[in-house]
Structure 1
Amino acid sequence: MRGSLAVKVFWAVFGTAALLVVAITTASVWRVDRSFSRYVLQLELERLRGLVEQVQRDHAVRGDWGFVPDQAQDPEGYRRWFNRAMGQQRPPRGPAADVTQALGLPSPAPDGPPRDGPNEGPLDAAPPDAPPRDANRPPPRPPDRLALMRRVAFFDAQGRNVGGAPVPLSQCATVPVEVHGQVVGQVGLHIQKDALATAALAFLREQWRDALWMGAAALLLSAVVSLLFARHLRRPVRELVAGTQALTRGALTTRLPTDRRDEFGLLADHFNLMAAQLEQQERSRREWLASTSHELRTPLTVLRALIEALQEGIRQGDPATLQRLHEQVMSLTRLVDDLHQLAQHDAGSHALALAPVRPHDLVDDVLDALAPRLQQAGLQLSLDDLDPDVTLQADPQRLRQLVLNLVENSLRYTDAPGRLHISLRRAAGGWQAEFEDSAPGVPPEALPRLFERFYRGEASRSRATGGSGLGLAIGRAMAEQHGGSLQAFPSALGGLKLVLWLPIGPP
């Protein structure tokens, strides 16, 4: 597994996820660390909203800051005033209510029983069923958990401390005090850095702990997903490796499963297509060797028998025997020539000698040369040329041999008396020649195989009347070399129809 694709994919996905988790967690905690102190301070300033509103009312009534009790000289009075201003004790109705309405500020709660429940009321008022309080004993003080009363300071418009905590303006977070649209001073809250740092440290510890747990869970999840994804990719890769190894061992029937719809499925389809083509080529090679050896064996066997008969005196070297020897030698020569042409075509070593060719004249020459044989075979020939002035860029010698092979095919396999009709014309931007003969025909399922090497369409066609089965294969190879095509169809005359198409321009 070391160095394999699955391991690389696993570490790539897991490493990317780990870096993202660490980066996001660190950035989040760093952001919280920077904004936590400011956030806490904003919350504390929000708690001073009622105090600021009350200060605005009192300043509107007095016109100065004399309404703030001196915390050093009258701590109890300052405490009562501060609690009332913070909303913990309802202020009495009086001139301040009129000023509040005139300034458009929020109105204080009215006297009397509270609307929200019986537990609300003055902080220094005792419940109805409570025992009487000692007159000499001071009233109980409400808890000040945030120590706001000891941290709040009041500053006039010039920034001078006019009450509250004795701290300078520079050490406070402030809220402006506006009366009639003008800033008359500020309410400041002394910033206690040690307290904020302690609270921030505790909060950040919780954040780090939660972030570490979430990061660990995210890393575990990414590891599981990376492992599953790596295994998902490893299976088709292993199948592909096993398939290629099987092909190298010669198991050309190997196929890969094609149940995937991704790139691996497409790769499996191409692999199967390649394996099928290799299997077909191997089958064709074996058939080619078997057929070639079989075709060569027949004339060689006849030659051997004749020569041995001459040697043993069974036969004499008369003209008839010499004629049979010559026929077998010529048959063997034609077969070797055909094999040589096919080998040249497969190797692509035979270059075309292109020249202007009039197919009408070329077909006439071939038919004139084969006229005696056609007459002897009992075939009636007819020719229709709708465009006799067509000129092709082709190799004259190979094109002549191509037409000769097509006429020879009808000459050898058509029963007498029979017909051969040839039609020449322009078609589909090129030149087309149709060769139609009479019976016997070729079964439709055998038509695609006519161009296979050593294939004969009729089992009754022997080598004595037919060729080696290479003529049409050579013809298609020549047509394709010229950039054209050669196809087989059933003929309306009852036999075979061969359609040759060649481009008019150079291939």
Structure 2
Amino acid sequence: MRLNIRYRLFFALLAASALVALGMLLIVQWSLDRGFLQYVNTLDTERLERLAVELEERYDESGDWAFLREDPGNFHRLVLLTGPERAYSPEQLERLERRLQRHRDRPQGGGEGRRLDAQRFDQRLVLLDGQKRLLHGPEKFPGGLTFRELYHRRQIVGYLGLVPRKDLADANQLRFVREQQWAMLLIAALAVVVSALLAFPLARRLARPIHTLATATRRLAAGDFTVRTPAERGDELGQLARDFNSLALALEKNEEARRRWVADISHELRTPLAVLRGEIEALQDGIRQAGPETFASLHGEVLRLGRLVEDLYQLALSDVGALSYRKNSESLVELLEQTLATARSEFARKGIALRFEAHPADVTLFADGARLGQLFVNLLDNSRNYTDAGGELVVRLEREAGWAVIHFQDSAPGVPEDELERLFERLYRVESSRNRNSGGAGLGLSICRNIVEAHGGTISAQASPLGGVWITVRLPLEEVAQ
């Protein structure tokens, strides 16, 4: 069965919590076993110190160890008095005395009865006299045992040692450790249960925006570019939602541009085709007679249709990067002068003054001269077509920090401020009522932008101080372009 991301997150969080709880349980159990054993040995060490003080006092009273050799029970009494039993009542001490007496009356032969309990405090004690002869304890005790020296009048009279515990064997101690282990196990199980209760809503909360994004992505793939996702979160999922919304918005704009592009192309093609159809039908019906004027009209419409198709073809090649560029060192001043010289007659025919300024007089670019010529022709045609008669166009060349800057400033009419940025959109014309006689199809400036960007430059439009449009082209100089 395939699990969705909600349950995968749930099991991942639950597994992580269970592993943490299990690790904490093992570490705490190890620490408890080791720490509790150290604690018990520490208590035994403190008890050993109290016993050493009692032995030193008894030795001071008797002057030797005869009180232990004559009656070994005295040693057991001192052990009882210095241990936890020292708070016993006289009646309890009397019962303990009887138990010691029964212990002394047992047979001293071998066998199980002679085996010592390695966990009992008194049977882990080793007492030696000043000559390190055994007074109490097993005849064989572990090597490396640490002894506490016993003093009488600043002289060593004995040694008292204790074999440390290796593990716990006391019933009360073991019961305490087991109770703690069960408590820790219960706490770990409770932690896992609480983690499960918290992991499920957390996993659902984390999976909700992912599910929302997945649903929105399916709608986007189906062509619904208006879909948006909530982006209130401040984490990576919120950023992903914002990126998705940006993508949907870009696709929506591209779809709108595509539809507008198809509609505009259809409109641009329909106009010359309609004129051609009307002219031909008029000839067929005998309304017009074939003659030079008729053929000139037909030829003009065919030329307009050819220019439109050629513009569309050039723009399509430019969009896909298929326009060929043969770059060489080119003199920008010479290119501009040649292009302006060709266009002066047409500007003069319309009554528009054309002026050129170059500062400095020589600027070299690493560029395709033919494409730059196409760029300048399109810009000049745009100014000539949309500048009123009696106006002027000023072309100025400057050099700025590794860039060649060409300014095209024409006179009225101008373009509204909010429409300046759209001048370089394909098939865009400021006045939709303009026909092909007064302007173009709106593709020239789009081709200009692609040519400039192919040379690593920029092109922009703003209001001209002469009352028209100010187009600025920035191209990298030869040393920068290479």
Q: Which residue of 1 aligns with 2:148?
A: 176
**Partners of 2:310 and 2:43 in 1: how far apart?**
103
Q: Which residue of 1 aligns with 2:158?
A: 185
**Partners of 1:341 and 1:322 in 2: how far apart?**
28
Deviation at 1:151, TM superposition (A): 7.7
Q: Which residue of 1 aligns with 2:107?
A: none
Code of the aligned partner of 1:331:
R
What does the per-residue CA deviation read over 1:200-246, in whole Å, with 9 as the maximum and x for residues that have no partner? 43233212211111111221233234323322321121111111101
Q: Which residue of 1 aligns with 2:50?
A: 50
Distance 1:147 1:459, change over 3 A: closer
TM-score (norm 2): 0.85
**Partners of 1:6 and 1:87 in 2: how far apart?**
59
**Partners of 1:481 and 1:151 in 2: how far apart?**
95
**Partners of 1:490 and 1:195 in 2: how far apart?**
95
Distance 1:3 1:87, change over 3 A: closer
Q: Which residue of 2 aligns with 1:470?
A: 443
TM-score (norm 1): 0.81
**Partners of 1:218 and 1:428 in 2: how far apart?**
68
Q: Which one of the candidate residues 232, 250, 259 is aligned to 1:259?
A: 232
Q: Which residue of 1 aligns with 2:328?
A: 355
Greater CA deviation, 197-206 or 263-272?
197-206
Q: Is the 8 A contact 2:359 2:397 kept in 1?
A: yes
What does the per-residue CA deviation read over 1:354-413, in whole Å, with 9 as the maximum and x for residues that have no partner? 122212222222222222211111101111111221111111111111101111111111
Greater CA deviation, 194-203 or 483-492?
194-203
Deviation at 1:39, TM superposition (A): 3.5
**Partners of 1:297 and 1:396 in 2: how far apart?**
35
**Partners of 1:369 and 1:193 in 2: how far apart?**
108
Percentage of pairs with the same residue: 38
Q: Which residue of 2 aligns with 1:26?
A: 26
Q: Which residue of 1 aligns with 2:5?
A: 5
Q: Which one of the candidate residues 376, 383, 390 is aligned to 1:403?
A: 376
Distance 1:35 1:196, change over 3 A: farther
- How many residues matched? 458
Q: Which residue of 2 aligns with 1:491?
A: 464
Answering whether residue 73 of structure 2 is matched by residue 70 of structure 1, we say no
Deviation at 1:149, TM superposition (A): 7.1
Answering whether residue 94 of structure 2 is matched by residue 141 of structure 1, we say yes
- SS of 2:169's partner is helix
Distance 1:274 1:38, change over 3 A: closer
Distance 1:157 1:296, change over 3 A: same
Which structure 2 residues correspond to residues 172-321 of structure 1 after superposition, within 5 A?
176-179=148-151, 183-187=156-160, 196-321=169-294
- SS of 1:451's partner is coil
- SS of 1:273's partner is helix
Q: Which residue of 1 aligns with 2:316?
A: 343
Q: Is the 8 A contact 2:52 2:150 kept in 1?
A: no
Greater CA deviation, 290-299 or 307-316?
307-316
What does the per-residue CA deviation read over 1:274-329, in whole Å, with 9 as the maximum and x for residues that have no partner? 11111111111111100001000000100111111111111111211111111111
Code of the aligned partner of 2:382:
N
Deviation at 1:459, TM superposition (A): 4.4
Greater CA deviation, 254-263 or 14-23?
14-23
Deviation at 1:491, TM superposition (A): 0.4
Structure 1 gaps of 5+ residues are 90-119, 125-137
Distance 1:182 1:441, change over 3 A: farther
CA root-mean-square deviation: 3.3
- SS of 1:141's partner is helix
Distance 1:147 1:358, change over 3 A: closer
Q: Which residue of 2 aligns with 1:442?
A: 415
Greater CA deviation, 181-190 or 408-417?
181-190
Q: Which one of the candidate residues 396, 402, 406 is aligned to 1:429?
A: 402
Distance 1:204 1:246, change over 3 A: same
Code of the aligned partner of 1:141:
E
Structure 2 gaps of 5+ residues are 100-118
Greater helix percent: which structure? 2
**Partners of 1:372 and 1:78 in 2: how far apart?**
134
Q: Which residue of 2 aligns with 1:107?
A: none
Code of the aligned partner of 1:50:
R
Q: Is the 8 A contact 2:37 2:168 kept in 1?
A: no
